Amino acid sequence: MFDIERWQEIFDTIRKNKLRTFLTGLSVASGIFILVILLGFGQGMQNGISAEFKEDAATSIWVWPRRTTVEYQGLNPGRQIQLRNENFDMATSAFEDDYEKASLLYFPRNVQVVYNNDLLVYRIQGTNGDLQTIENEYLSEGRYINETDVAQNAKVAVISNKIKREVFSEVDSPIGEYITISGAGFRIVGVFGEHGDNEGEEERIFIPITTAQIAFNGGDRINNMNFMLPELETFDATVAKNGEFTAALLKYLKKYHKVAPEDDRAIRIWNPIQEAKRYYSLIGGIKLFFWVVGFFTIIAGVVSVSNIMLIVVKERTREIGIRKALGAKPWSIIGMIMHEAIFVTAIAGFTGLIFSMGLLELLGPHIQVDYVLNPSVNFNVALTTVILLIVAGSLAGFFPAWKAVRVHVIEALRDE
């Protein structure tokens, strides 16, 4: 029930103690403000990490060979490992139920790319159609390399948006144009793009893997194998399945190439989801730290409210004694003091919430530094925090109020 006299008492007390009330509210508002800003940057870090790993499929696995570092079965260390078509065929056959996409790459060396008598300095890479999904590329025009191109050793090429801008700016579309690679003509059938600002990945021209191996003396050699695994119901399940696949694949390759089981450098596997797990675990720790810092900041504000209520009770001891002498019930006195504590806490808490959410809303979308992207906070989380703060504020007012009602009437009336 609305009690106008109670509100008048609260506002009279605030007017009489403007500075004290302002400083108390400031401590509470700053606690909420700091907590929301910290949580916002924690979410911004998570957004930034997610964006970094979205450049390629999150569940992709990249395999490439290096040199052995351990003697094994009579073979000296320093031996260069060479992946071959047979490795890819065996892996795709043995693990066909475990992956969704699989691609391979061959990098021809000492090749020259020419268009209209101009020498182009771009990398040539032979691959198959699954690479587009694994590398999370999108098509701007035309099509990507397909199974027919690979089966027929077709002389077709897919260029990037960057190459289109730099080389084919004078034509309406590069589709159907021809480029010459070491004397052989290749017809452009598609234009791809990379998500994000990674233009370095757009300095490549893709041709069918079989064409690259035959035309440029590749034999059956390959430089990389890539797999994309399905995403399972939970992140942990996906990570676990990813780890099992990686271990099985590495075991097969080490056995085939006679690599010591303990040699971790001869065949390297880059697993983005395992890297993501490490980063997300780190972010989880940082978020927990932010919560702890924000929590203790809020506690400091609540303690400030409690101390102010103790001072209020001390200042109004005689008034409380008179109220009790006139028959005021204990709960009415408790309510009077708690009402003021809750009011100050609620106003300060919502003020801190509004300022912090407004700041994140205005500046968050413009913050795009390394590993921090669009800091933001779920409004429900922030609102719940303020509600908990108000509950804490009510408790902060209850104990001084309880102390007030336990004062004997005679002692209260004697108070000066």
In SS3 terms, the chain reads as CCCHHHHHHHHHHHHHCHHHHHHHHHHHHHHHHHHHHHHHHHHHHHHHHHHHHCCCCCCEEEEEECECCCCECCECCCCECCEEHHHHHHHHHHCCCCCCEEEEEECCCCCCEEECCEEECCEEEEECCCHHHHCCEEEEEECCCCHHHHHCCCCEEEEEHHHHHHHCCCCCCCCCCEEEECCEEEEEEEEEEECCCCHHHHCEEEEEHHHHHHHCCCCCEECEEEEECCCCCCHHHHHHHHHHHHHHHHHHHHHHCCCCCCCCCCEEEECHHHHHHHHHHHHHHHHHHHHHHHHHHHHHHHHHHHHHHHHHHHHCHHHHHHHHHCCCCHHHHHHHHHHHHHHHHHHHHHHHHHHHHHHHHHHHHHCEECCEECCCCCHHHHHHHHHHHHHHHHHHHHHHHHHHHCCCHHHHHHCC
Same domain, 34 and 168: no
Residues 195 and 70 in one domain: yes
Average pLDDT over residues 214-243: 89
Give yes or no for residue 413 having a pLDDT over 60: no
Which of residues 216, 238, 271 is at a domain's end? Answer: 271
Q: Identify which has the larger pLDDT, 159 or 60.
A: 159
Q: pTM above 0.85?
A: no
The residue ranking higher by pLDDT, 207 or 296, is: 207
Distance, CA of 111 to CA of 128 (rounded, Å): 20
Question: Backbone phi, then psi, for 392, in 5-degree steps?
Answer: -65, -35
Same domain for 8 and 154, yes or no, is no
Residues 260, 283, single domain; the answer is: no
pLDDT of residue 1: 46
Going 52 to 55 to 61 to 65, the CA torsion angle's sign is negative
Other Cβ atoms closer than 10 A to 298: 25
Domain check: are 69 and 154 in the same one?
A: yes
pLDDT of residue 5: 65
Whether the pLDDT of residue 270 is over 90: the answer is: no
Residue carrying structure tokens 């017809």: 187
Between 141 and 194, whose confidence is greater?
141
6 confidence band (pLDDT: 50, 70, 90): low
Burial class (CB in 10 A: 0-12, 13-18, 19+), 395: middle
Q: Could you tell me which residues come within 8 angstroms of residue 215 by beta carbon, excluding any fewer than 6 positions away?
A: 108, 155, 181, 182, 184
**Half-sphere exposure at residue 279, Cβ-oriented, CA atoms within 13 angstroms:** 19
Q: Cα separation of 84 and 75, whole Å? A: 19
Residues 292 and 192 in one domain: no
**Same structural domain, 27 and 100:** no
pLDDT of residue 149: 96
Count of beta carbons in the 10 Å neighbourhood of residue 416: 4
pLDDT of res. 50: 66
Asked whether the predicted pLDDT for residue 244 surpasses 60, the reply is yes
Instruction: Point out the domain boundary residue: 271, 299, 322.
Output: 271
The answer to whether residues 255 and 109 belong to one domain is yes
Residue-wise over 233-272: b if at least 16 C-beta within 10 A, else e? eeeeebbebbeebbeebbeebbebbebbeebeebbebebb
Co-location of 99 and 82 in the same domain = yes
pLDDT, tens digit (0-9, with 9 covering 90-100), for 99-136: 999 999 999 988 999 999 899 999 999 999 999 999 88
Asked if pLDDT for residue 349 goes beyond 50, the answer is yes
44 plus 69 within the same structural domain = no
> Residue 277: what pLDDT?
72
Give the model's confidence band at 414: pLDDT under 50 very low, under 70 low, under 90 confident, else very high: low
Q: Band of the pLDDT at 266, cuts 50, 70, 90?
A: very high
Query: Is there a single domain that holds both residue 99 and residue 178?
Result: yes
What are the tens digits of pLDDT across the range 40-72? 887 887 777 666 655 556 788 999 999 999 999
Residue 217 or 412, more confident: 217
Average per-residue pLDDT for the chain: 83
Number of domains in the chain: 2
Instruction: State percent of the chain over pLDDT 70.
Output: 84
User: Span 275-289, mean pLDDT?
Assistant: 75
Q: Is the pLDDT of residue 313 over 70?
A: no
Decide which of 167 and 332 is more confident: 167
Residue 117 C-alpha from the chain's centroid? 46
Q: Which pLDDT score, from 0 to 100, does residue 142 have?
A: 95
Same domain, 359 and 266: no
Question: What average pLDDT does the segment 235-261 reach?
Answer: 90
Lowest-confidence pick of 130-134, 260-264, 373-377:
373-377
At residue 324's C-alpha, the angle toward residues 320 and 330, to 5°, is 90
The yes-or-no verdict on residue 173 having pLDDT over 70 is yes
CA nearest to 80, candidates 223, 182, 179: 223
Q: How confident is the model at residue 387 (pLDDT cuts 50, 70, 90)?
A: confident
Q: Which of 271, 304, 334 is the last residue of a domain?
A: 271
Q: What is the residue range of 400's domain? A: 4-52+278-414
